[in-house]
């Protein structure tokens, strides 16, 4: 939701690699939210950032919330004002990103990370087949 709101990827000024992903998970690293964004959007975004997946809203719930906003003239007006403020901010802080940073990359898997449990021999009695 942050990327949709600001129109750019969250990278914290570094490449989105395994180390950054670990930092995000371990330290609940979250991007900064600029002031003047409608509180209902901020609250929903923070709900989506919940550490425990069962505390996050489902896709169905998010659709219901967004539909509710579309049917509420006050919220829709406030979101439009927030959008105008963001357009002004975006035009003053444009940054280009390399596509290489955001493409899928192969993650090396090494068996040294796993302990060898050895082979387990399974004997099936022929009279049981």
Per-residue pLDDT of the chain (129 residues; tens, 9 = 90+): 777 777 777 765 667 778 877 877 888 888 888 777 778 888 999 999 898 899 999 999 999 998 998 898 888 888 877 777 666 655 554 444 455 555 555 555 555 545 555 555 656 666 655
Q: Which residue has the tokens 């490449």?
A: 15
Q: Which H/E stretch holds residue 45?
A: helix 39-48
| pLDDT score at 108 | 58
Distance (Å) of CA 23 to CA 5, 46, 81, 90, 124:
23, 18, 34, 27, 48
Q: Under a CB-based contact definition with an 8 Å cutoff, are residues 38 and 79 in contact?
A: yes
Question: Which among 2, 14, 7 has a CA at the least distance from the CA of 98?
Answer: 14
Residues 31, 42: Cα–Cα separation, whole Å: 12
Whole-number Cα distances in Å, 100 to 4, 14, 17, 18, 27: 20, 12, 11, 15, 26
Query: Residue 20, CB half-sphere, CA atoms under 13 Å: how many?
Result: 12
Is-contact 9 1, C-beta < 8 A? no
* Domains in the chain: boundaries: 2-128
Would you state the pLDDT for residue 32? 81
Which stretches within 11-120 are classed as H helix?
A: 18-27, 39-48, 59-70, 73-92, 99-102
């Amino acid at each position: 939701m942050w990327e949709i709101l600001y129109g750019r990827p969250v990278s914290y000024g570094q490449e989105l690699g395994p180390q950054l992903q670990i930092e995000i998970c371990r330290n609940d690293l979250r991007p900064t939210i600029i002031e003047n964004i409608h509180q209902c959007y901020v609250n929903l975004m923070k709900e989506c950032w919940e550490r425990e997946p069962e505390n996050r809203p489902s896709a169905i719930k998010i659709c219901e919330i967004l539909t509710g906003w579309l049917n509420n003239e006050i919220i829709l007006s406030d979101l439009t004002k927030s959008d105008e403020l963001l357009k002004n901010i975006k035009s003053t802080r444009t940054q280009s990103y390399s596509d290489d940073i955001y493409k899928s990359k192969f993650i090396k898997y090494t068996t040294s990370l796993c302990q060898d449990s050895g082979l387990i021999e399974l004997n099936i009695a022929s009279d049981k087949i």
